[in-house]
Amino acid sequence: MNNIDQFLSYNDSDTTPQLFEIIIPDAACNMKCKYCFGEHSCNIRNTCNSKLNEKALDESLKDVDHSGPGLITVWGGEPFYNKSQFLELVSYLTDRFPKAKLSIVTNGSLLTDYWTQFIIDNNIIVGISHDGPGQKYRGFDCLEHAETKNNIIQLRKNKRFFAFNTIIHKLSPSIQETHEYYYRKEDELGVELGTAPRLIRYVNELSEPFMFRSADFYHLDKNAEYVTNFFMRALLNNDTKSVNKYLGDPLKHAITSIIENLSGIPFTWIKDTPYCGTLDVLKITTNGDRVFCNGITETGDIEKAKKMLSTYKSFSKCETCDTNYVCKGLCSALPEHALMQNCEMYQYFYTKLREYIESFMKK
């Protein structure tokens, strides 16, 4: 267990502390993915009229350390969709937080030569939403178009590209096939890529066609077996790079929570909160408003949001759920009726994941 502890500690600690996140509230997205969490938020609009309010931002961020290192993440919408505001925002952040690292989350469709050079010149880290073999269900594929593909290569060569954020859903259900897709792309492009696969979340009825339901659970069983074998093989080979590069934080969080529960040995970095950062990371819009995340700001009721965030286990089903120690409520932003649409799927996956991990640990 000491080897596992050291291995997991290394994986968890190899990150830059998050200072805060900036949301561009009117950064409309040009792709409108039906199962995207952000798509259902009031933060996503069809216009780009919001202006950067430096005075309001200064007030909202007054308690944040301006002189130390840390990570600031920018997202929308699609950050590149509002060109003038993104440029103003980067200028503001680099002026106020000179030692911080900047990162953005983009869909990659607007990754022109101009933006690529801007990212490199300003030392910005980029994460791209891309679903591997399931990208056709999103729309534009940045790995199939010459300009965006070449710019991803340039970002990787300049150590500015981090990984693809990949949603696993009913129509693109296999983590193994997702890995194999990116392996092929690495060979084709001649650079390392990486992906952080995660199961889909139900937000509203638009998500339903992509959700795993009981007839589809055999995919989850296969995913649980594959992920366990992938992780344990990396552990035995002390291969932290593969875990960081191809599992991503959501799956690592689930695996470590299960190992902690099975072993009875606490891992100090595992927090008793849902894995989403909502309870830990300050989120501010470019007009200075304090928000929590896309889902929870949909109602516009910040007081209700605060209550939900502080009582994420209060739903009756969570109190008696055998896998709550893994998901811890899954998403503190979702109202109960939406949360319940996720429960059966996540319970099944985490139960199977536990079975495979427990079997491996007994060997």
Give yes or no for a contact between 158 and 117, defined as CB atoms under 8 angstroms apart.
no
Q: Is residue 105 over pLDDT 50?
A: yes
Sign of CA dihedral 322, 252, 330, 171: negative
pLDDT tens for 142-163 read 999 999 999 999 999 999 998 9
pLDDT tens for 50-104 read 678 899 889 888 888 898 889 998 887 788 887 888 899 999 999 999 999 999 9
Q: Is residue 309 over pLDDT 70?
A: no
Dihedral class, residue 171 (left if φ above 0, else alpha if ψ from -120 to 50, else beta): alpha
Please state whether the predicted TM-score (pTM) of the whole model is above 0.85.
yes
Indicate the SS3 state at residue 9: helix
Q: Measure the CA–CA gap between 163 and 277, rounded to whole angstroms.
A: 18
Q: Is residue 124 over pLDDT 90?
A: yes
Query: Would you state the pLDDT for residue 45?
Result: 46
Q: Is residue 247 over pLDDT 60?
A: yes
DSSP state of 136: G
Q: Which residue has the higher pLDDT, 198 or 283?
A: 198
Residue 298 pLDDT class (50, 70, 90 cuts): very low
Helices within 14-143 (DSSP H only): 54-60, 83-96, 113-121
The residue count of the chain comes to 363
Average pLDDT over every residue of 95-116: 94
pLDDT tens for 180-218 read 999 999 999 999 999 999 999 887 788 899 999 999 999
Average pLDDT over every residue of 92-117: 94
Domains and CATH numbers, the chain: 2-247+277-311 (3.20.20.70)
Q: Within 10 Å of residue 177's Cβ, how many Cβ atoms?
A: 15
DSSP state of 125: E
| Percentage of residues of the chain with pLDDT beyond 70 | 77
Token pair listed for 264: 């009875």
Query: Would you state the pLDDT for residue 250?
Result: 85
Indicate the SS3 state at residue 46: coil
Dihedral class, residue 119 (left if φ above 0, else alpha if ψ from -120 to 50, else beta): alpha
pLDDT tens for 11-27 read 444 456 777 777 765 55
Average pLDDT over every residue of 247-262: 89
Element (H, E) at 77: none
Indicate the SS3 state at residue 162: strand
Residue 275 pLDDT class (50, 70, 90 cuts): low
Q: Which residue has the higher pLDDT, 126 or 51?
A: 126
Query: Would you state the pLDDT for residue 289?
Result: 74
